[in-house]
């Protein structure tokens, strides 16, 4: 016998096509792993979009509140002034100053 005949080749190694069940399990494991990671990324993206939309909505509400506050401050400054009282008397009560003439149009 030659020295090479004593050496046996081991077939069925992982790289040579053996262990088909192990190969299937590895492929299935990675497919599941990719599916889980993909779904996590999709959920994270959805949550990020909801937070961004809510942020825009809150910024709009803040601008409206600031504008309303400024309007209230302006009205507070006007209330009690002679010009404001005169405007209310003319608009709501229909009063006029002495010597003024009212002209009514066909409204």
What single-letter DSSP state applies at residue 6? Answer: S
Place of tokens 């506050």: 69
- What integer pLDDT is reported at residue 107 of this predicted model? 60
Query: With contact defined as beta carbons under 8 Å apart, do 22 and 14 qualify?
Result: yes
- What integer pLDDT is reported at residue 67 of this predicted model? 96
Give the model confidence (pLDDT) of 7-24 as tens digits: 555 555 555 556 789 999
- What integer pLDDT is reported at residue 31 of this predicted model? 97
Q: Which residue stretches of the chain have pLDDT < 50? A: 1
Residue 42 has which token pair? 């999709």
Give the model confidence (pLDDT) of 79-90 as tens digits: 888 888 888 888
| Element spanning 67, H or E | helix 20-78
- What integer pLDDT is reported at residue 39 of this predicted model? 97
CA atoms within 13 A on the CB side of 54: 6
CA–CA separation, 96 vs 98, rounded Å? 6
- What integer pLDDT is reported at residue 43 of this predicted model? 97
CA–CA separation, 42 vs 61, rounded Å? 29
pTM for this model (two decimals): 0.50
Nearest to 96 by CA among 84, 81, 86, 82: 86
- What integer pLDDT is reported at residue 103 of this predicted model? 77
């Amino acid at each position: 016998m030659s020295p090479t005949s004593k050496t046996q080749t081991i077939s069925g190694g992982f790289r040579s096509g053996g262990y088909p069940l192990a190969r299937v399990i590895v492929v299935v494991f990675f497919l599941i792993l990719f599916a889980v990671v993909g779904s996590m990324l999709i959920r994270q993206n959805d949550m990020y979009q909801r937070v961004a939309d809510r942020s825009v909505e809150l910024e709009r509400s803040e601008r409206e509140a600031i504008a309303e506050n400024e309007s209230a401050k302006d009205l507070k400054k006007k209330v009690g002034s002679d010009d404001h009282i005169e405007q209310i008397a003319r608009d709501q009560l229909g009063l006029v100053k002495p010597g003024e003439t009212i002209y009514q149009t066909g409204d």
